[in-house]
Structure 1
Amino acid sequence: MSSAWKHGSAQHHSKKNLAHCSYVLTMFLLFYLFTEVSCQTDITGSDIDKLQTEVVNIRNEIATSEKNLAATRFTEDALREDNKKVAFYTGLPSFLSVLSLFTLLKDYVPHSHRNAFTQFEEMMLFTSG
């Protein structure tokens, strides 16, 4: 047997094996992609219910905290419905009085995008001190 024949035969055999491997790999991938895949977990329906309840409780706590935080701010929204707070911090009888004062003064207060507070909040901090 000549070495050329052995080499050619081996090359042909190698291409045939490569084609077969390619076919097997393609079939495996198709099987894997188009079959239902599932996994086993240790989480029960009861565990999921507990987690959902915990999420609801945490969301309620966040909402309460956000309300409490908003109540401590000197924003227009925080003072609009609370004339007692307005009177306590400013000495003025109502939010309408504060808003009227703000309307008169706001054009004389320098303000830029670098200010952390709104003009209204700055006025409230200044007048409540």
Structure 2
Amino acid sequence: MNNILRESFWAVLMVCLPLATACVKKAAASISASAEENAKSEVTRRLVQEIANAVADAVAAMNQSYVDDLKKAGTFKEEEQAQALSRAISVAIKSLSKDALDYIKEISGGDTVGYLTTRIQAQISRNKGVSK
């Protein structure tokens, strides 16, 4: 009787062990994929925040050092606006990390200046809405 039970146990174990191993392996892969996705999300969130801060800082710097003076003098025309935008883009690019610049290139199809132009113009619009 003991012999039959022992052999039955080993037979069940030989069938169940590979199934249990496969289940554990699948669970580990799922946990790993989830952790990797969370890490990517955190990196993306950090990069987006870095870009937003760089754009806001660039707009504030241009207002402080260039735009406000031209507005007071009444000489803030189209050419000066284009110059201010160009300077803001340059300031933003200089303040961004390589990872943030790579992220912008990835999501914009390589058009870093176009992407930053849009973000800077949006920030200027937000600033105008706050100051009204």
- TM-score, length of structure 1 as denominator length: 0.31
Q: Which has the higher contact order (CA 8 A, sep 6+)?
A: 2
Larger Rg: 1
- TM-score, length of structure 2 as denominator length: 0.30
